[in-house]
């Protein structure tokens, strides 16, 4: 247990593209808020390659295993043969099997719906992200969708436990088991079984993903926690982000048994990198999730107070119209960070 006054060592991976810019702004805000953190910078992605190492250096993974917590900017995977996604590799190697993405309407960010409050829980280790692709003939390639009963059970337990702890009322599985009878079937069966056996307190439903998406964009308030296999979770995260203002405002966390890694849903957005227009809020919100995680896991009241201060400050900034361009404002990255820092009470 870390008591107030102690600093939690956290691995910081700035990443590529807009990663270093938004990370810099977020660190400034965390420091201004006196967050009880001590950074250990590590590399991954293009930044690691350019420093003369592997795209995902072993020492980066070791550092995360050692500290148990990391804040990560988006990493770019070099184009070409021989490189599998850095972000996917990291989740697999650290066994960060549960991805959690809260998608909420934010005051000061007007969108089509006002009361969106969803949590997307994505299985992070298998499905079509198995990386098992083969060329069978010149004309045919195959891609394997992997589902194991153990991983399906594990994520189902995680989702229902999360829903219970956070006082959420319903878990919905999106699936395509009418077509992928075995792989999506096993995912759905696991959720159904775990619900029936251990979580009668939570409402449970299943939706075929195409119809589910239609319902989601018609009225997102009919859903609460969405439980999805890997690829569906990826797609639905961006779709849901579109309901609340876009990728600039959706944070994320990846949890395993031994460590947790916090990162925004967005990628490295090379199209806007270096132009001082990216929104650092998604990474800042991920950092707030990290502080809450430390507060809970290590019973650190100071982390909890700090997370509240930052949340209140960015909410006030948005309410006052202090916004980056993606949200209809005019502020650059550091100017937005200044606006948040000025409002830290």
Nearer to ligand ATP, 64 or 269 (CB): 269
Instruction: Figure out which of the listed residues 267, 289, 293, 294 binds ligand ATP, where binding follows CB under 6 A.
Output: 267
Q: Are 175 and 187 in contact (CB under 8 A)?
A: yes
266 binds ligand ATP (CB under 6 A): yes
Q: In whole angstroms, what is the distance from residue 335 CA to residue 170 CA?
A: 39
| Least distance CB 89 / ligand ATP (angstroms) | 13
Rounded to a whole number of angstroms, the minimum distance from the CB of residue 15 to ligand ATP is: 10
Coil, helix or strand for 21? helix
> Does 23 sit near ligand ATP (CB under 6 A)?
no
Applying CB under 6 A, does 269 fall inside the site for ligand ATP? yes
By beta-carbon proximity to ligand ATP, the closer residue of 68 and 267 is 267
Question: 282 to each of 35, 93, 142, 179, how far by Cα in Å?
Answer: 18, 24, 35, 35
Which among 124, 106, 123 has a CA at the least distance from the CA of 115? 106
Segment contacting ligand ATP (CB under 6 A): 7-15, 47-55, 127-135, 271-279?
A: 271-279
Binding footprint of ligand ATP, residue count (CB under 6 A) = 14
Q: Which stretch binds ligand ATP (CB under 6 A): 107-115, 171-179, 217-225, 274-282?
A: 274-282
Closest of 123, 216, 201 to residue 167, by C-alpha: 201
Site string for ligand ATP, 277-306 (x = CB under 6 A): -xx--x------------------------
The closest residue (CB) to ligand ATP is: 267
**Complex with ligand ATP: residue 125 or 286, whichever CB lies closer:** 286
Q: Where are the beta strands (DSSP E) in the chain?
A: 8-13, 37-41, 69-72, 98-104, 117-123, 133-135, 141-143, 170-175, 203-208, 225-228, 253-255, 260-262
> Smallest gap, in angstroms, from Cβ of residue 223 to ligand ATP?
22
Angle at 107 between CA 287 and CA 31, to 5 degrees: 30
- Give the separation between CA 186 and CA 26, rounded to whole angstroms: 40
CB of 129 to ligand ATP, least distance (A): 12
User: Are the C-beta atoms of residues 40 and 10 closer than 8 Å to each other?
Assistant: yes
Regarding 15 and contact with ligand ATP (CB under 6 A), the answer is: no
Position of tokens 């995260």?
237
Minimum Å gap between C-beta 268 and ligand ATP is: 5
Phi-psi region of 54 (alpha: psi -120 to 50; beta: other; left: phi over 0): beta
Quote the CA–CA distance of 128 and 143 in Å, as a whole number.
7
3-state secondary structure of 98: strand
Nearer to ligand ATP, 122 or 154 (CB): 122
Closest CB 192 distance from ligand ATP, rounded Å: 31
Q: Which is nearer to ligand ATP, 23 or 268 (CB)?
A: 268
Asked whether the beta carbons of 4 and 301 are under 8 A apart, the reply is: yes
Identify which range of 29-37, 93-101, 111-119, 261-269 contacts ligand ATP by CB under 6 A.
261-269
- Contact residues toward ligand ATP (CB under 6 A) are 18, 74, 247-248, 266-269, 271-272, 278-279, 282, 326
């Amino acid at each position: 247990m870390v008591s107030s006054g102690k600093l939690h060592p956290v691995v910081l991976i700035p990443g590529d593209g807009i990663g270093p810019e938004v990370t810099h702004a977020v660190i400034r805000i965390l420091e201004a808020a006196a967050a009880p953190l001590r950074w250990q910078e590590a590399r991954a992605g293009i930044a690691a390659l350019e420093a003369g190492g592997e795209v995902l250096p072993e020492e980066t993974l070791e550092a995360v295993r050692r500290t148990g917590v990391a804040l990560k900017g988006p990493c770019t995977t070099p184009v070409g043969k021989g490189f599998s996604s850095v972000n996917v590799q990291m989740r697999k190697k650290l066994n960060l099997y549960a991805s959690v993405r809260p998608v909420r309407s934010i005051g000061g960010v007007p969108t089509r719906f006002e009361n969106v409050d969803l949590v997307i829980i994505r299985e992070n280790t298998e499905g079509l992200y198995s990386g098992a692709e083969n060329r069978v003939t010149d004309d045919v390639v195959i891609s394997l969708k992997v589902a194991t009963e153990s991983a399906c059970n594990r994520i189902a337990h995680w989702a229902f436990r999360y829903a219970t702890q956070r006082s959420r009322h319903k878990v919905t599985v999106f699936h395509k088991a009418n077509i992928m009878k075995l792989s999506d079937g096993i995912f759905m069966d696991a959720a159904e079984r775990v619900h029936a056996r251990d979580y009668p307190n939570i409402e449970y439903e299943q939706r075929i993903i195409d119809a589910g998406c239609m319902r989601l964009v018609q009225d997102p308030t009919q859903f609460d926690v969405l439980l999805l296999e890997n690829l569906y979770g990826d797609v639905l995260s961006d779709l849901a982000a579109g309901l609340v203002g876009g990728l600039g405002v959706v944070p994320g966390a990846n949890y395993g048994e031994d460590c947790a890694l916090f990162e925004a849903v967005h990628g490295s957005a090379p199209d806007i990198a270096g132009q001082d227009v990216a929104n650092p809020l998604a990474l800042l919100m991920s950092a707030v999730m990290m502080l809450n995680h430390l507060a809970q896991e290590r019973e650190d009241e100071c982390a909890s107070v700090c997370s509240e201060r930052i949340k209140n400050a960015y909410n006030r900034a948005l309410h006052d119209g202090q916004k980056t361009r993606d949200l209809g404002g005019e502020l650059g990255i550091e100017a937005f960070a200044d606006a948040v820092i000025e409002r830290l009470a």
